[in-house]
Amino acid sequence: MEITAKMVSELRSRTGAGIMDCKKALGETNGNIDQAIQKLREEGLKASELKGSRAAKEGLIISYIHPGSRVGTLVELNCETDFVARTEQFQELGKDIAMQVAAAKPKYLSEEEVPAEDLEAEKAILKAQAQKEGKPEHIAERIVEGRISKFYSETCLLQQQYIRDTDKTVESLVKDAIAQLGENIVIKRFVLFVLGQ
């Protein structure tokens, strides 16, 4: 099938990918736009994994104050260059993450940041709940593991469902931005302020 300039232009406007990447993806999918979008996304995610090891020392500190001025957040979002930090897409990502922190109130950035004593305390509570429900020991252990995953998805920012698209996690939102902007992007830290707390 012949790949026309119109097809390339449409794919480019829908994905933000480069002309040659769009042309290649359309060629590999026989001009199917939806399959080409999927292919570009997969390629972008592969590239984002490679970029994950590069140093991200530039970026911005982004603030969000919820209407009513009773809840506010600060997020440090890092990237590799000042050029990317100044793009509208990077700044929007930062605002979305700051809004996520205000809405979902995570306690930790990632699973790795959960202190061992907090995790053990949570496991003990979950095990006691499972035993109270009358579950045998071996089943209680599996229930605890499943519920710990839920604990992570509620308390760890990167594992939380993104508030504007619950099919995505915050981590996948960041990975999509890495694929589109072509640089490593890292949420370095965040702070949540709640009036009176």
Residue 157 pLDDT exceeds 70 = yes
Q: Are residue 71 and residue 44 in the same domain, yes or no?
A: no
pLDDT digits 0-9 by tens, 167-187: 999 999 999 898 888 888 999
Dihedral sign from CA coordinates of 19, 22, 27, 30 = negative
CATH of the domain at 38: 1.10.8.10
Instruction: Check residue 17 and give its pLDDT.
Output: 66
Both 161 and 151 in a single domain?
A: no
Residue 150: CATH number of its domain: 1.10.286.20
Label residues 59-71 b or e (16+ Cβ within 10 Å = b).
bbebebeeeeeeb
Whether residue 56 is predicted with pLDDT greater than 80 in this model: the reply is: no
Domain range for 18? 5-51
For residues 170 and 137, state if they share a domain.
no
Reported as a pLDDT band with limits 50, 70 and 90, residue 51 is very low
Asked if pLDDT for residue 53 goes beyond 80, the answer is: no
User: What pLDDT, on a 0 to 100 scale, did the predictor assign at position 159?
Assistant: 93
pLDDT of residue 39: 77
pLDDT in tens, 110-149: 988 888 888 888 888 888 887 778 777 777 778 888 888 8
| Residue 77 half-sphere exposure toward CB, CA atoms < 13 A | 30
Residues 100 and 171 in one domain: yes
Do 161 and 132 fall into the same domain? no
User: Looking at residue 75, what is its pLDDT?
Assistant: 95
Q: Are 128 and 178 in contact (CB under 8 A)?
A: no
Domain identity same for 173 and 93: yes
- Given a cut of 80, is residue 99 above it in pLDDT? yes
Same domain, 40 and 13: yes
Q: Can you list the alpha helix ranges (DSSP code H) found in the chain? A: 5-15, 19-28, 33-51, 82-85, 88-104, 116-132, 137-155, 170-181
Rounded to 5°, the CA angle 72-77-82 comes to 130
Q: What's the structural domain count of the chain?
A: 3
Q: Would you state the pLDDT for residue 55?
A: 67
Specify the pLDDT at position 52.
Answer: 47
Residue 48 predicted with pLDDT over 50: no
Are 103 and 120 in the same domain? no
Position 94 pLDDT exceeds 50: yes
The answer to whether residues 164 and 151 belong to one domain is no
Q: What is the pLDDT of residue 41?
A: 72
* Same-domain check for residues 102 and 163: yes
